[in-house]
A and B are shown apart, each in its own frame.
Chain A
Amino acid sequence: MTARGFLRHETILALLVLVALFVLDRQSDRFLTVDNLFNQGRLMTEVGLIAIVMTFVIVTGGIDLSVGSILGMTAILIGVFWKNMGLPLPAAIGMGLVVGAFAGFVNGVIITRFKVPPLIATLGTLALYRGIAEGVSEARSVRGYPEWFFVLGQGELWGAPTQLWIFAAVAIVAAVVLAYTTFGRTTYAVGSNEVAARFSGLGVDGAKIAIYSASGLAAAIAAAIFVSRVSTTRSDMGTGIELDAITAVVLGGTSIFGGRGTIIGTLLGLVLIQSLKNGLSLAGVKSDGTVVLIGAVLILTILISNLVHRDATR
């Protein structure tokens, strides 16, 4: 491995994560226990699912600010399909996933067909989807889900929290797709130079629509898990989750300008943020302090990584 390869952002980040884990472990003996780690994994799944697909979105040079609203809208609709329309719960969840994917599809169409920049398009759909969530629910919550549903968010499967298996599956599939398939290479190409990609005959629009639909689908899966974890639905669910996901993705080394980024990086970013939130709290730092520290860590990590890659123009 050359020196340059050794100093990749992901490597630096991995070192940072190890340092953080070590320091936090010193501060509290409850931190590195299997129970706690599984628990943190449980709490991290919703953001994690969204961040993994967000990696694809940002690698293409785009962004999706509407994921939080899609989460909220899907959560409400699952409740509406089940309680108000009387569908059996699995069907309601399935319909919810379809709606989420469709919402992402709409994003993709607005961005490709109408050529609206992703930031603006998803800024508009952020308001629209959240508004639909509020309007449909009229601010009422849906409660009283059957017990078996809570296994998804609160229960265990084969010894580990149920949602972690889903998260692991999605992460592995995403990593393989991004790194080893044609679709993954198309994604990188679109992000590096969209015009060149188009002229090379790559299906740029199709890829983008697929990616934004996947982003919506990920938000919908996260919604189902979230509802199961807290046993209720609210129209304000998922507010602000897009910024958490983007922070994890960017921290993981994905360039906001597109063309660069890995799933491993995003996972490391997620682990770092979650470890800080948990470890600092166990060490006695309160929420406001933790928030400041995470902001500082974000800036410092990217700064250090940039300094190491001094010759990179981006």
Chain B
Amino acid sequence: MLRPSLAAMAVLCLSTGLATAQSAWTGGDDLPTNPLACDGTPATPVSVDYDGGEPTNPPDRAGKAITVVDVPKLIGVGYFDATSKGIAEATAELGNMTATTDGPVEANIDDQITVIDNYITKGVDGILFAANDSVAIAPVLKKALEAGINVVGYDANAEPDARQWFVNQAEFNGVAKSLVDALAAEIGGEGAFAIVTSTFTTPNQARWISEMAAYASACHPNLTWLETVEAQEDNILSFNQANTLINKYGDELKGILGMTSIATPAAADAVTQAGQCGGIAVVGLATPNAMKPYVESDCVKSVVLWNPVDLGYAAAQVLRATADGTLKPGDTSVQAGKLGELQVINGSEILLGAPFVFTKDNIADFDF
């Protein structure tokens, strides 16, 4: 009886020693960062050569009806439901494209590769994707290119030579700047905050955390990062983790950054139930539907995202343009239907625009 308790205590004591001093924030990746200027002057665009892949001997699809499959990270979540809606809007407008959304039921690389593989076998004209892992998805996308299929990504990139174009919802450093600026605006230039993310292996989240660390150390050096906790894709776990943070730091905690549509509402609810609305700022990325109760009760002032419906719409438009040949390597912009002209950045990426901030004034207008 005594032994397991002693063993448990020993393990606990040993593990405190495992707390490594991380210079960057926990949860970030180790790729190079590129923080924006503090005052918002846009970086001078650097002209980069086209670095996307090319399909091998694609048939002439200009103006013809094409079938397209959209393979998001997973199906059954509101975010990709919204991008799917955007794609459907575009196909309805274009009239000569049919798109099916089909993806894995869980966000893992193996199932996503299998889905794409099946559609290559089935024979589609175009593939839209949001990758669970940029390197893991490359082999199967290259196979698609070799089969003459047009490949365009959105939301989560693959290696550049595995796809023709990537519709980027917002630059990583842009998202990072919006989040950190929103946080600093609410808690003042000085204060301590913690981050709740999904998992440390999700590429986008890891990129944002790295960029946020770089931007904050340059432009808001008096903000103190306390720690990052993982909460998987589990609402209640996110809620409990946020509560634990509130309990652990007490008055020291001034803000919580949520990195996903699961983490942010859960953190907001934790702050609300702890009676700390106003005392602890909650800022994060989330779809508006998840945040409506908290924004309406003024507990959360701003929610950062972009419009996933527009993202899906743009992706579908870009695919059409690629298949038609109106968008070619080396072009600097593309016409994307009702969204107007979108810029090409970083060689083969198409920028949707600046991150969008949902506030009490506009959140009711959106339904995703």
Contact = CB atoms under 8 A, between A and B. Distances in A.
A289 to B, nearest CB: 10
Given A134-B200, A231-B136, A281 B119 contact: yes
B359 to A, nearest CB: 33
9 contacts: A39-B121, A135-B18, A140-B30, A230-B109, A230-B135, A231-B136, A236-B108, A287-B75, A287-B115
A143 B30 contact: no
B113 interface: yes
A282 B135 CA distance: 26
B310 to A, nearest CB: 24
Given A43-B114, A236-B201, A281-B119, A288 B133 contact: no
Contacts of A134: 200
Interface string B85-118: 0000000000000001011111011110111011
Contact of A230 (B104, B119, B139, B199): B139
A309 interface: no
A138 interface: yes
B64 interface: no
A235 B109 CA distance: 12
A30 B108 contact: no
A226 B139 CA distance: 12
A57 B85 CA distance: 46
Contacts of B133: 141, 230, 232, 234
A139 B200 contact: yes
Contacts of B199: 139, 236
A28 interface: yes
The 7 closest A-B pairs by CB, nearest first: A139-B200, A230-B136, A232-B135, A281-B118, A286-B102, A139-B201, A282-B122
A203 to B, nearest CB: 31
Interface residues of B, number: 35
Interface in A265-308: 277-278, 281-282, 286-288, 291
B286 interface: no
B118 A239 contact: no
Given A138-B200, A139-B206, A288-B75, A281 B139 contact: no
Nearest to B31: A140
A231 B201 contact: no
B29 interface: yes
B118 A231 contact: no
Interface of A: 28, 30, 35-36, 39, 43, 46, 134-135, 138-141, 143, 150, 154, 226, 229-232, 234-237, 239-240, 277-278, 281-282, 286-288, 291
B121 A30 contact: yes
A229 B114 CA distance: 12
Given A154-B139, A281-B119, A287-B102, 5 more contacts: A46-B110, A139-B199, A230-B110, A230-B133, A287-B103
A281 B122 contact: yes
A45 to B, nearest CB: 12
Contacts of A239: 108
Nearest to A278: B118
Interface string B118-134: 11011100000000010
B82 to A, nearest CB: 18
Interface string B220-233: 00000000000000
A282 B139 contact: no
Contacts of A30: 121-123
Most chain A Cβ neighbours within 10 Å, of B18, B100, B133, B138: B133
Interface in B1-56: 18, 27, 29-30
B114 A277 contact: yes
Contact of B135 (A36, A141, A226, A278): A141
Contacts of B110: 46, 226, 230, 237
A222 to B, nearest CB: 11
Contacts of B76: 288
B139 A240 contact: no
Nearest to A44: B114
A278 B103 CA distance: 13
